[in-house]
Chain A
């Protein structure tokens, strides 16, 4: 089943201004449920921009984006927030954790929008921490964690709402080789959980991953066939 369909997506920054920049041109992609896709390309090829659109962080200038039969291209804030909350787990390059809070408090963040009881919340948090293998550091402040541990905390947060889609933007950019390999191994776990995963990266280590179903190459905002 097609989980995500992108039809003729364009993204233009500063449209109708002298410094207008056409970041994405005529993007057409279809991603199946459970597929693990790598967006490959050098810096500036438009991978992160495309991932932002998929994650509902910004809107396309034109085109349609159908995710689980819902067009997310022009959703109002309430609905696009709900989409990000329920359907997407985002892993950022710089982790984007809330410094000053513990691992547990960071992972809890998405759940605090729900009406679940404390017990339910704790259960879900523990499950996510276990999957990401960071449960032993749950009370520790994220500012005291290493790069790899921060990454795992970010993964736990992305998983805690059990979203069907995981998006990762340059997840290994700030990691050493060992931790990068650990992340690549996580892809197997995502596959086992039935997640649809899209990773934007130019890290060659991903070529070792067996879990990857497909590569999409990008250059100058276009998909190279």
Chain B
């Protein structure tokens, strides 16, 4: 594409101005690293969520008022069961238990596959209680007294995204810990076999029980997507940082062509370099910097997210109260990376090549005197 000798000389000239190009390289790498890391974390979480939501109930019913969660009764369950199109309604027992010593909240979920007196805990929970010397058992302190449960299993790190702060126990134990009556439920899971009827039934449920909130599977999935679709408030700050850095970078790129470099272009022109040769040199130099920076940025982001599990950034996505030992699934959205490449490299190159062309076509006789 470019003559070998010219390409070599372009690199010689690039290395001559190491400091200037190093600055561009570092800023560009930083921007790409930050944006790629956000992309990787977000995609990793979303891919796990996609798998996790396979068994999502068609409609989830909760009793909320002014942002607070109340229980649902057996009557509420029967009222929903009587609606045409609903084949099953399952009552769920879950809630939050405050572990005073560790000052953290655990999410208690009733799981009928467990026997009475046994519990399975997420690894975040285990870490928190182990710090207070709980190894095989844990005591829950309720208004009605102490409840001791045996730890049967610790969930693997792979599922931390869903159960890091979760304790599974038999529903009867859960009711006791959460002080939930036998005829009360924290949520109702509604099964609607015909997907076309879900929307209508969601509205019917709210009509029947005006104090409840009914959320369809579609809405739940959309909420999750929205949460992690890198549009949240915190991400806007990150993007702002990237934008400002990028503008500084572009300004630096433009200044690379003026001053000493303007004379350099004039000198090369005077010894026989054509306009196309000057453009070729600038293109080769800046493509080398841009491509190296892009590859470095993506590589560093990958190592940061998938080797080191994104310290700091992970807290923005997942909160930081409970120690999260999440393992992100390595996923690279090539389409987004390609878009990132196009929208970063092209302006980067344009900010050098266009001014270089302008200088190259100017009268060189004054510049070389």
Kindly state the separation between the CA atoms of A110 and B267 in the bound complex, as whole angstroms.
Answer: 11
Using known A-B contacts A81-B274, A98-B264, determine if residue A113 contacts B5 with beta carbons closer than 8 Å: yes
B5 and A112 form a contact (CB under 8 A): yes
- Chain B contacts with A in 1-37, Cβ cutoff 8 A: 3-6, 8-9, 12-13, 16-17
A100's nearest neighbour on chain B, judged by CB, is B16
Query: Does B196 have its Cβ within 8 Å of any Cβ on chain A?
Result: no
Query: Which one of B128-136, B147-155, B361-369 contacts A?
Result: B361-369
Query: Does B192 have its Cβ within 8 Å of any Cβ on chain A?
Result: no
B272 and A81 form a contact (CB under 8 A): yes
Query: Does B271 have its Cβ within 8 Å of any Cβ on chain A?
Result: yes
| Chain B residues whose CB sits within 8 angstroms of the CB of A99 once the complex forms | 260
Query: Does B277 have its Cβ within 8 Å of any Cβ on chain A?
Result: yes
Using known A-B contacts A58-B363, A78-B276, A114-B5, determine if residue A109 contacts B369 with beta carbons closer than 8 Å: no
B272 and A169 form a contact (CB under 8 A): no
Interface size on B, as a range, is 20 to 34
Query: Does A61 have its Cβ within 8 Å of any Cβ on chain B?
Result: no
Kindly state the separation between the CA atoms of A86 and B273 in the bound complex, as whole angstroms.
Answer: 11
| Chain A residues whose CB sits within 8 angstroms of the CB of B345 once the complex forms | none
B-contact bits for A150-185, CB 8 A (1 contact / 0 none)? 000000010001000000010000000000000000
Query: Does B176 have its Cβ within 8 Å of any Cβ on chain A?
Result: no
A98 and B270 form a contact (CB under 8 A): no
B12's nearest neighbour on chain A, judged by CB, is A105
B-contact bits for A114-149, CB 8 A (1 contact / 0 none)? 111000010000000000000000000000000000
Which residues in B have some Cβ–Cβ distance to A below 8 Å?
3-6, 8-9, 12-13, 16-17, 260, 263-264, 266-277, 361, 363-365, 368-369
A98 and B16 form a contact (CB under 8 A): yes
Using known A-B contacts A100-B17, A116-B5, determine if residue A110 contacts B271 with beta carbons closer than 8 Å: yes
How far apart are B84's CB and chain A's nearest CB, in angstroms?
81
Q: A85-B272, A92-B369, A97-B267 are in contact. List 9 more A-B contacts (CB 8 A).
A: A52-B365, A58-B365, A77-B361, A81-B277, A94-B369, A108-B9, A109-B9, A110-B272, A157-B271
B365 and A81 form a contact (CB under 8 A): no
| Chain B residues whose CB sits within 8 angstroms of the CB of A97 once the complex forms | 267
How far apart are A114's CB and chain B's nearest CB, in angstroms?
6
B3 and A98 form a contact (CB under 8 A): no
How far apart are A167's CB and chain B's nearest CB, in angstroms?
10
Kindly state the separation between the CA atoms of A89 and B12 in the bound complex, as whole angstroms.
Answer: 22
Query: Does A31 have its Cβ within 8 Å of any Cβ on chain B?
Result: no
B-contact bits for A38-78, CB 8 A (1 contact / 0 none)? 00000000001100100101100000000000000000011
How far apart are A25's CB and chain B's nearest CB, in angstroms?
18
Kindly state the separation between the CA atoms of A111 and B271 in the bound complex, as whole angstroms.
Answer: 10
A88's nearest neighbour on chain B, judged by CB, is B272
Could you say which of A77, A93, A96, A111 contacts B274, with CB atoms under 8 Å apart?
A77
| Chain B residues whose CB sits within 8 angstroms of the CB of A114 once the complex forms | 5
Query: Does A84 have its Cβ within 8 Å of any Cβ on chain B?
Result: yes
| Chain A residues whose CB sits within 8 angstroms of the CB of B361 once the complex forms | 77
| Chain B residues whose CB sits within 8 angstroms of the CB of A105 once the complex forms | 12
A109 and B17 form a contact (CB under 8 A): no
